[in-house]
Amino acid sequence: MTRPTYLLSALLLACCLSSCGQTPKNIKAIAANFSRDQVPKNLSRYSQATFAAGCFWHEETLFESIKGIIDGVSGYAGGTATNPSYEDVETGTTGHAETVNIYYDSSVITYPALLKIYFESQEDPTQINGQGPDEGTQYRSIIFYRNETERKMAAAYIDELNRSGKYKRPIAAQLLPYTTFWRAEDYHQHYINTNTDNPYVADVSIRDIARFQSTHPELIKPGHNFSEKK
């Protein structure tokens, strides 16, 4: 995946991994647990939610670590081009954003809870057209609502955050109606599960995932918490 180039020394990478409370071996073991998750072939009985917030690699993995999330699919939404490729989207000219479509059990986790996770897991929910080092319209934050109830809940939550005084700038997430979600190429699906040696994954993705997991361990599936010390 084309990401900003990180010229990390072995020392820097080790520091990053240790900041998650993990050794590289432990991170690989936790990532492998994601690969063992059993995903039903028929997902039609589950509810869906669709979010964009920077790189879809760690958005997918973060949500898949949450109890009640059945599966996450990386893809593209919010643009006009038909069946866009990763290379097309990364030019920033198609209007699409890297997006994750989530299948969840609504008897275990609610849509308002997903909204809370969505915002709290972002490095900076006020950042426009990006998250952290990923910059451009293809990395912008979007909540794709499927009905008026979801739109109202998302709008109310954004208003609450803006009024809270927690952030110096307004929340950047757009509210857009869900239209078409294009599944990303196979090599993007569950990417972190088998690519923990990728410097971007170690230095950005797992760091951000672990940061959220450390503050909400009660939400995390057993064996899926990158912040747990071994």
Q: Does residue 55 carry a catalytic annotation?
A: yes
- At 203, is the pLDDT very low, low, confident or very high (cuts 50, 70, 90)? confident
Inter-residue contact 185 to 86 (CB < 8 Å): yes
Torsion of CA 19, 227, 204, 38, to 10 degrees: 150
Residue 226 has pLDDT above 60, yes or no: yes
**pTM of the predicted model as reported, rounded to 2 decimal places:** 0.90
Give pLDDT, residue 13: 43
Among residues 15, 16, 20, 55, which one is catalytic? 55
Over residues 82-119, the pLDDT tens digits come to: 999 999 999 999 999 999 999 999 999 999 999 999 99
Rounded Cα gap, residues 64 and 151, in angstroms: 23
Q: Among all chains, which residue has been given the structure tokens 């973060």?
A: 62
Over residues 170-186, the pLDDT tens digits come to: 999 999 999 999 999 99
Rounded Cα gap, residues 71 and 81, in angstroms: 26
Radius of gyration of the chain (CA): 17
Length of the chain: 230
Residue ranges and CATH numbers for the domains of the chain are 40-193 (3.30.1060.10)
Q: Averaged over 33-57, what is the pLDDT?
A: 97
* The pair of three-digit structure tokens given for residue 15, joined into one six-digit string: 């520091």
- At 22, is the pLDDT very low, low, confident or very high (cuts 50, 70, 90)? low
How crowded is the C-beta side of 141, counted as CA atoms within 13 Å? 23
Inter-residue contact 65 to 144 (CB < 8 Å): no
Count of CB atoms situated within 10 Å of the CB of 171: 18
| Alpha-carbon separation of residue 16 from 24, 55, 202, 209 (angstroms) | 10, 19, 7, 13
